[in-house]
Structure 1
């Protein structure tokens, strides 16, 4: 019976972690799009690394500075995840891949961007946060180019 209970507890902990990680991923898009830098910083571990277009940024303050600088060139943005594939998760850490799109307004033009986030998650101060987030851009194009651009 104890083995079954342990197994059940482990399975429940796994499912809870997946749900909390999914909530973390959803909160990321909202924080970026709302330019809510305090909330965004809180989604990352204190010594997290975010690696995107301009190279890695390490530590919450540096990560937030990166976002403030990067998003200053955009008008409206809308980030939305399509799927969160949790590859591995234990009590306090995990890894996953998030497939997503972003809509960006730049200089009066609208762009569609396909992204993959390669994440490491860590439970810090009782909640799941990004320990590392590496972004790979699959493609980007103006919305007006989308019908023809997907053929190439």
Structure 2
């Protein structure tokens, strides 16, 4: 049975929302790389939460202060999303998972980060925005260490800190169950 006009309109609206969310994720990287802090503020809700290496910060102003501090540490950056899944949780809310990479210049050192963003989106003022964004790192290392960093669980190697365990994938229940079924630690 073909969809009714109401079903078709609902399906088209969901496709439009999904496209806008994919564009939001793509625009995020460009705004970060272009150092467009005003633009970054426009894609977060007023009560936004961002959680990364320094812990969570709440409120758009605090989120922007976090970004300014981080961007002051880096030279050129290049953020690029790979895959992006979206699940709608209401007419104006959704969650998403974004797999991504970032290339950074920290002083004279080229640096690479593989990460997964766990997102919560909300429509505010007629536009989809980030309500919560949590960055989890699979690895973060100087580019010169990339050939060896994947061979260890200590894959977070930020300058001035001791190597630390990566956020993913080892803590995931699916990873742990698989490792247990194979008789390995990971």
| TM-score normalised by length of structure 2 | 0.77
Q: Which structure is higher in strand share?
A: 1
- 1:91 Cα deviation from its structure 2 partner: 2.2
Instruction: Determine whether 1:23 maps to 2:18.
Output: no
Which residue of 2 is the match for residue 38 of structure 1?
A: 38
Q: Which has the higher contact order (CA 8 A, sep 6+)?
A: 1
**Alpha-carbon contact 1:116-1:136 (below 8 Å) kept:** yes
- 1:55 Cα deviation from its structure 2 partner: 1.2
Which runs of 5 or more residues in structure 2 are unaligned? 153-186
Which residue of 2 is the match for residue 60 of structure 1?
A: 60
Which residue of 2 is the match for residue 9 of structure 1?
A: 9
- 1:81 Cα deviation from its structure 2 partner: 0.3
| TM-score normalised by length of structure 1 | 0.93
Secondary structure of 2:91's counterpart equals: coil
Number of residue pairs matched by the alignment: 151
Which runs of 5 or more residues in structure 1 are unaligned? none
- 1:148 Cα deviation from its structure 2 partner: 3.2
**Alpha-carbon contact 1:109-1:142 (below 8 Å) kept:** yes
- 1:142 Cα deviation from its structure 2 partner: 1.6
**Alpha-carbon contact 2:100-2:116 (below 8 Å) kept:** yes
Secondary structure of 2:4's counterpart equals: helix
**In structure 1, what is the Cα distance between the partners aligned to 2:52 and 2:142?**
20
**Superposition RMSD on alpha carbons, in Å?**
1.5
Counterparts in 2 of 1:1-152, with a 5 A limit?
4-152=4-152
Larger radius of gyration between Structure 1 and Structure 2: 2
Secondary structure of 2:33's counterpart equals: helix
**In structure 2, what is the Cα distance between the partners aligned to 1:41 and 1:121?**
14
Give a deviation string over 1:5-50, Cα, whole Å, max 9, x none: 2211111111111100011001111111111000000000011111
Going from structure 1 to structure 2, the CA distance change for 1:89 and 1:12 (only over 3 Å counts) comes to: farther
**Alpha-carbon contact 1:50-1:56 (below 8 Å) kept:** yes
**In structure 1, what is the Cα distance between the partners aligned to 2:146 and 2:53?**
22
- 1:100 Cα deviation from its structure 2 partner: 0.3
**Alpha-carbon contact 1:122-1:131 (below 8 Å) kept:** yes
Secondary structure of 2:97's counterpart equals: strand
**In structure 1, what is the Cα distance between the partners aligned to 2:145 and 2:49?**
33
**In structure 2, what is the Cα distance between the partners aligned to 1:132 and 1:149?**
29
